[in-house]
């Protein structure tokens, strides 16, 4: 990590019955680290600790070259963006932005002049000129987000913290704002910690992902790697993996294979690591890795193929979610074209195939 | 049909509650006529008593605001050991009979009292039979209204997220309080000031125990009732009532505005 980023080293905290246990993580300049976890996992507490609202029992919080562990929030230079953007409802857009620019150094007159220029430039940069005198209640979701970002930038921050800023918005607005935020973060080139329980949001924004559960970081790594290889079943569920399949380790020509489902079972050649032959294991499989075809579909090289009976069909947005029985409950997605071509309906038989490496062995 | 019966029942209960409050006041206002009120207004003792009550209640409301609003902010936003005890102490004057409160204040703020003696010695401030005594008695019985209303104002008006964001934007806690919390909770605070003023100006027993003289309006009216009977005291009572009601309506307008006009629907 370079010295411009965020680094937490062995941070421990106790808040009533809740505890954060020796959290260590880092986010480089320009990197978005998403803290993904269920409600009550400790993501927001961790963010608040970085912001300075809780003092750790142990450990160190560093932003750039500064050790901020014992600094109060107002001295940390972090930009904190919260649910629904937390704009001050009694202040205009310009006053909201000016609030962030209010606490610089220098004498009063030079501060005032510099502040006015900074506020004007931020309002222009974020295209808020037409709304400068409006109150937040009169703004759209996108405008609110831009005010929140402009206000946060007015403090000349060294770190961005986001605590589920989109959780109170409708899906359409959320998607649009997420794209806008992703562009902003790419340009801002500041380290960012982003808290969410939404795996889609994490996938859209994260350079790296930390899965937080029970006050601990249970998995941390590059987003692509974490999404491809969740550590355990709980992490897999949090990462939006639709299929966590129980299996049994069997001997195989290649070393080992996982037998999945009740007979007629299918076998996945997979290195079972230290799991002995005959032991029970779990594997993850993303529904998006499953290709659909007619029953008896042939596996290509490096693929696994099996048949399943469709039990339930539900339209979800542009795709249709299929709950199937392949000796084990398995979820797949179908396009409208596939529905028509395969005449998919409840109780029809279909074939499925996917690459062997789409299966991932989970820790127990 | 069931909804109509329920509506009728609620309407009846509400009407009884309103009638219970309004009928005695209407009876009071109708009794002396305008001439009786004018006659009371021409009495210097009555005018000075009403002025004293208004002044003392205003000072009480100001002191209550100065000491109660910061306490309300702390109670609304902080968890600390003994918070429940602090809240119970704040509410204590609501449960103590006001004659008992008066005796307690007399003991504490009297010439030999634990607060009265040093206040007299160091600041020359005396409470027995003085304006300061009236204010102390009014403050004791009315402070809970300020603290509780302001606290509700902070709890309902100030999203904790706003406080956190303001801190990370570089504002110290004092600035957050002044720039964010106070403007957002001002309706609750105004409601507290209104209730405090109303409670203070109407106080009789605690004031009478600590500072019977100079006479506030309630004590002057009581004295007139004892000396001259109902006839002469009613004019002063109506005059006092009208002045207090006008003030109350004005303050209430600022405190509540048009809030509370939303309904549940049908």
User: Do residue A134 and residue A208 come from a single domain?
Assistant: yes
Domain architecture of chain B: domains with CATH: 56-212 (1.10.3720.10)
Tens digits of residue pLDDT in B106-140: 999 998 899 999 999 999 999 999 999 999 999 99
Read off the pLDDT band of A100 (50, 70, 90). confident
Read off the pLDDT band of A351 (50, 70, 90). very high
Q: Which of B175, B164, B168, B145 is nearest to B61 (CA)?
A: B145
DSSP notation for A308-352: EEEEEEEEETTEEEEEEESSSEEEEEE-HHHHHHTT--TT-EEEE
Helix (H) / strand (E) containing A59 = strand A58-63
Q: Which of A229, A252, A287 is the last residue of a domain?
A: A229
- The four Cα atoms B157, B158, B159, B165 give a dihedral, to 10 degrees, of 150
User: Do residue A262 and residue A217 come from a single domain?
Assistant: no
Model confidence at A107: pLDDT above 60: no
User: Do residue A46 and residue A172 come from a single domain?
Assistant: yes
Q: Which of A140, A117, A189 is nearest to A160 (CA)?
A: A189
Count how many domains chain A has: 2
Contacts of B164 in chain A (CB under 8 A): 48, 51, 53, 73, 80, 82, 86
Q: Does B162 touch chain A (CB under 8 A)?
A: yes
Contacts of B184 in chain A (CB under 8 A): 89-90
Tens digits of residue pLDDT in B50-95: 999 999 999 999 999 999 999 999 999 888 899 999 999 999 999 9
Q: Does B169 touch chain A (CB under 8 A)?
A: yes
User: Do residue A224 and residue A252 come from a single domain?
Assistant: no
Question: Which long-range CB contacts under 8 A does B30-35 form with residues at least 24 apart?
Answer: B31/B234, B31/B238, B32/B231, B32/B234, B32/B235, B32/B238
With CB atoms and an 8 Å threshold, state whether B168 touches A99: no
A86 preceded by cis ω (within 30°)? no
**CATH no. for residue A59?**
3.40.50.300
Which residue from A minimizes the CA distance to B161?
A86
Burial class (CB in 10 A: 0-12, 13-18, 19+), A328: middle
Q: Does B178 touch chain A (CB under 8 A)?
A: no
Residue A118 lies inside a defined structural domain of this protein: yes
For the CA atoms of chain A, what is the radius of gyration? 25
User: Which pLDDT score is estimated for B27?
Assistant: 85
With CB atoms and an 8 Å threshold, state whether A72 touches B167: yes
Q: Does A79 touch chain B (CB under 8 A)?
A: yes
DSSP state, A133? Answer: T
Residue A24 lies inside a defined structural domain of this protein: yes
Q: Which of A229, A259, A288 is the last residue of a domain?
A: A229
User: Do residue A151 and residue A265 come from a single domain?
Assistant: no
How far is residue A334's CA from residue A321's CA, in Å, rounded to a whole number?
A: 7
**CATH no. for residue A354?**
2.40.50.100
- Cα B112 versus chain centre, distance: 28
Q: Which of A154, A194, A238 is nearest to A6 (CA)?
A: A194
Residue A280 contacts residue A246 (beta carbons within 8 Å)? yes
With CB atoms and an 8 Å threshold, state whether B169 touches A52: no
How far is residue B169's CA from residue B162's CA, in Å, rounded to a whole number?
A: 10
Which residue from B minimizes the CA distance to A100?
B169
User: Do residue A49 and residue A79 come from a single domain?
Assistant: yes
Nearest-Cα distance to chain B for A77, in Å, is 7
- The four Cα atoms B212, B217, B222, B228 give a dihedral, to 10 degrees, of 120
With CB atoms and an 8 Å threshold, state whether A83 touches B180: no
- The four Cα atoms A229, A235, A239, A243 give a dihedral, to 10 degrees, of 80
Residue A234 lies inside a defined structural domain of this protein: no
With CB atoms and an 8 Å threshold, state whether B165 touches A86: yes
Residue A237 lies inside a defined structural domain of this protein: no
How far is residue B79's CA from residue B124's CA, in Å, rounded to a whole number?
A: 39
User: Do residue A261 and residue A131 come from a single domain?
Assistant: no
List of residues 6+ apart from B29 with CB closer than 8 A: B238, B241, B242
Residue B180 contacts residue B192 (beta carbons within 8 Å)? no
Which residues constitute the domain of residue A33? Answer: 6-229
Residue A13 lies inside a defined structural domain of this protein: yes
How many Cα atoms within 13 Å fall on the side-chain side of residue B29?
Answer: 8
Is beta strand A192-196 parallel, antiparallel or unpaired with respect to A216-222? unpaired
User: Do residue A129 and residue A46 come from a single domain?
Assistant: yes
Tens digits of residue pLDDT in A120-137: 999 998 889 999 999 999
Q: Does A99 touch chain B (CB under 8 A)?
A: yes
User: Do residue A95 and residue A43 come from a single domain?
Assistant: yes
Helix (H) / strand (E) containing B214 = none
User: Do residue A217 and residue A287 come from a single domain?
Assistant: no
Q: Name residue A309's beta-bridge partners.
A: A325, A349
Q: Does A88 touch chain B (CB under 8 A)?
A: yes
Residue A1 lies inside a defined structural domain of this protein: no
Which residue from B minimizes the CA distance to A53?
B164
User: Do residue A223 and residue A248 come from a single domain?
Assistant: no
With CB atoms and an 8 Å threshold, state whether B164 touches A102: no
Residue A238 lies inside a defined structural domain of this protein: no
Burial class (CB in 10 A: 0-12, 13-18, 19+), B141: buried
How far is residue B147's CA from residue A57's CA, in Å, rounded to a whole number?
A: 34
Nearest-Cα distance to chain A for B62, in Å, is 25
Contacts of A152 in chain B (CB under 8 A): 169
Nearest-Cα distance to chain B for A150, in Å, is 11
Residue A236 lies inside a defined structural domain of this protein: no
Tell me what the pLDDT averaged over chain A comes to: 90
How far is residue B121's CA from residue B130's CA, in Å, rounded to a whole number?
A: 16
Q: Given B164, B169, B179, which is nearest A155 (Cβ)?
A: B169
Model confidence at A17: pLDDT above 60: yes
Residue to substitute from A88, A105, A115, interface B, most B β-carbons within 10 A: A88
Tens digits of residue pLDDT in A265-300: 788 888 877 788 889 999 999 999 999 999 999 888
Q: Which of A195, A229, A263 is the last residue of a domain?
A: A229
Model confidence at A108: pLDDT above 70: no
User: Do residue A88 and residue A146 come from a single domain?
Assistant: yes
User: Which pLDDT score is estimated for B265?
Assistant: 58
User: Which pLDDT score is estimated for B132?
Assistant: 96
Complex ipTM: 0.83
User: Which pLDDT score is estimated for A1?
Assistant: 45
Contacts of A100 in chain B (CB under 8 A): 169-170
């Amino acid at each position: 990590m370079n010295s411009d980023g965020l680094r937490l080293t062995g941070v421990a905290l106790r808040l009533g019955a809740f505890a954060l246990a020796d959290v260590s993580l880092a986010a480089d300049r320009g990197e978005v680290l998403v803290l993904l976890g269920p409600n009550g996992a400790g993501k927001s507490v961790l963010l608040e600790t970085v912001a300075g609202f809780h003092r750790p029992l142990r450990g160190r919080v560093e932003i750039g070259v500064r050790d901020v562990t014992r600094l109060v929030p107002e001295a940390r230079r972090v930009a904190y963006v919260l649910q629904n953007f937390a704009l001050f409802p009694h202040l205009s857009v310009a006053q909201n932005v000016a609030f962030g620019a209010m606490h610089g150094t220098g004498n009063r007159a030079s501060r005032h002049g510099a502040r006015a220029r900074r506020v004007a430039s931020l309002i222009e940069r974020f295209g808020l000129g037409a709304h400068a005198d409006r109150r937040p209640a009169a703004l759209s979701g996108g405008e609110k987000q831009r005010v929140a970002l402009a206000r946060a930038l007015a403090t000349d921050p060294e770190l961005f913290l986001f605590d589920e800023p989109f959780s109170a918005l409708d899906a359409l607005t959320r998607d649009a704002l997420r794209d806008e935020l992703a562009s902003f973060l790419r340009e801002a080139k500041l380290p960012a910690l982003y808290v969410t329980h939404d795996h889609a949001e994490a996938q859209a924004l994260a350079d790296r992902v930390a899965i937080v559960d029970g006050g601990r970081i249970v998995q941390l790594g590059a987003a692509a790697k974490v999404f491809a290889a969740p550590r355990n079943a709980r992490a897999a569920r949090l990462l939006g993996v639709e299929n966590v399949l129980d299996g049994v380790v069997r001997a195989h020509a290649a070393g080992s294979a996982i037998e999945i489902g009740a007979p007629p079972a299918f076998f996945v050649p997979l290195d079972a690591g230290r799991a002995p032959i005959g032991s029970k294991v779990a594997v993850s499989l993303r529904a998006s890795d499953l290709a659909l075809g007619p029953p008896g579909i042939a596996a290509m090289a490096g693929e696994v193929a099996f048949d399943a009976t469709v039990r339930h069909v539900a339209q979800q947005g542009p795709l249709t979610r299929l709950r199937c029985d392949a000796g084990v409950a398995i979820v797949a997605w179908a396009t409208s074209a596939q529905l028509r071509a395969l005449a998919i309906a409840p109780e029809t038989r279909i074939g499925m195939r996917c690459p062997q490496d789409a299966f991932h062995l989970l820790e127990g | 049909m069931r909804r109509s019966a329920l509506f009728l029942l609620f309407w009846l209960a509400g009407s009884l509650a309103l009638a219970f409050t309004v009928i005695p006041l209407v009876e009071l206002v109708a009794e002396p006529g305008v001439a009786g009120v004018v006659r009371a207004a021409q009495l210097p003792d009555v005018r000075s008593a009403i002025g004293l009550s208004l002044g003392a209640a205003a000072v009480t409301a100001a002191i209550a605001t100065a000491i109660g609003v910061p306490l309300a902010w702390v109670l609304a936003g902080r968890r600390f050991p003994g918070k429940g005890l602090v809240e119970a102490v704040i509410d204590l004057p609501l449960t103590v009979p006001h004659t008992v409160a008066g005796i307690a204040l007399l003991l504490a703020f009297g010439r030999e009292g634990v607060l009265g003696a040093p206040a007299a010695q160091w600041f020359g401030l005396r409470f027995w039979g003085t304006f300061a005594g009236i204010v102390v008695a009014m403050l004791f019985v009315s402070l809970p209204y300020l603290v509780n209303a302001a606290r509700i104002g902070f709890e309902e008006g100030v999203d904790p997220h706003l406080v956190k964001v303001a801190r990370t934007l570089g504002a110290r806690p004092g600035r957050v309080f002044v720039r964010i919390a106070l403007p957002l909770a001002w309706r609750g605070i105004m409601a507290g000031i209104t209730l405090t003023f109303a409670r203070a100006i109407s106080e009789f027993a605690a004031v009478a125990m600590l500072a019977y003289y100079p006479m506030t309006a309630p004590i002057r009216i009581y004295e007139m009732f004892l000396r001259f009977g109902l006839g002469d005291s009613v004019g002063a009572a109506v005059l006092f009532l009208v002045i207090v009601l006008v003030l109350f309506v004005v303050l209430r307008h600022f405190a509540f505005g048009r809030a509370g006009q939303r309904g549940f629907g049908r």
